[in-house]
Structure 1
Amino acid sequence: FELPALCRSLVPKRNNRSSMIYAMIAGIPNVGKSTLINKLAGRSVAKTGNEAALTRMQQRIEISSDLTLIDTPGMLWGNIENEASGYRLAATGAIRDTALELQEVASFIAEFLIEVYPESLVRRYDIEPLPRTEIDLLEAIARKRGCIVSGGRVDLEKVSRLLINELRAGELGGLCLETPDAFAAEWAQVEVIRAQKAAKKEARKAMRDK
Structure 2
Amino acid sequence: MEHINWYPGHMKKTKELIQKNLKLVDVVIELLDARIPLSSRNPQINEIVQNKPKVIVLNKSDLANPTISKEWVEYFKKEGHKVVEVDTISGKGLDKVTKMANEAVEDKMKAREEKGMNRRAIRAMIVGIPNVGKSSIINRLTGKKSAKTGDRPGVTRGKQWVRLKGNIELLDTPGVLWPKFEDLNVGLKLAFTGSIKDEVLDVETIALRLIDYLCRYYPENMKERYKLDTIEEEALDNMENIAKKRGCILGKGRTDYTRVANIILDEFRASIIGRISLERPNEEIHITMNDTDEE
Q: Structures share a fold, TM > 0.5?
A: yes
Aligned to 2:92: none
Whose helix fraction is larger, Structure 1's or Structure 2's? 1
Number of the residue aligned with 1:122: 223
Counterpart in 2 of 1:83?
A: 184
Specify the alignment match of 2:156 in structure 1. 55
Residues 60-109 of structure 1: CA deviation (Å, up to 9, x unaligned): 22113721222221122211011111111111011111221111101110
Which digits, 9 at most, give the CA deviation of each residue in 1:99-146, with x for residues without a partner? 211111011101101111101101211111122211111111111112
Indicate how the Cα distance of structure 1 residues 183 and 121 shifts in structure 2: closer, same or farther if over 3 A, else same: closer
The answer to whether 1:181 aligns with 2:283 is yes
Residues 84 and 2 of structure 1: CA distance in aligned 2, closer, same or farther (over 3 Å): closer
Tell whether 2:109 aligns with 1:109.
no
Q: Give yes or no for contact 2:163–2:170 (8 Å, CA) kept in 1.
A: yes
Post-superposition CA distance 1:40-75 (Å, at most 9, x none)? 112222222222111122222211372122222112
Contact 2:223 2:231 in 1 (8 A): yes
What residue number does 1:6 align with? 100
The alignment of Structure 1 onto Structure 2 pairs a total of residues equal to: 187
State the Cα deviation string for residues 6-51 of structure 1 (Å, max 9, x = none).
3232222224675121211111221211111111112222222222
Task: Report the secondary structure of 2:132's partner residue.
Answer: coil
- Aligned-residue RMSD, C-alpha: 2.3
Q: TM-score, normalised by structure 2?
A: 0.58
Q: Which amino acid aligns with 1:9?
A: E
**What's the TM-score, normalizing by structure 1?**
0.80
2:247 is aligned with 1:146: yes
Give the direction of change, closer, same or farther, for the CA distance of 1:3–1:118 in structure 2 (3 Å limit).
closer
Residues 40 and 63, structure 1, Cα contact 8 Å, conserved in 2: yes
- Relative to structure 2, which stretch is displaced further, 116-125 or 37-46? 37-46
Q: Look up the equivalent residue of 1:24 and give its one-letter code.
A: M
Which residue does the alignment assign to 1:135?
236
Cα distance between partner residues in 2 of 1:172 and 1:98: 23
* Equivalent residue number for residue 43 of structure 1: 144
- Higher relative CO (Cα under 8 Å, sequence separation at least 6) belongs to 2
Supply the distance in 1 between the matched residues of 2:128 and 2:166 (Cα, whole angstroms). 25
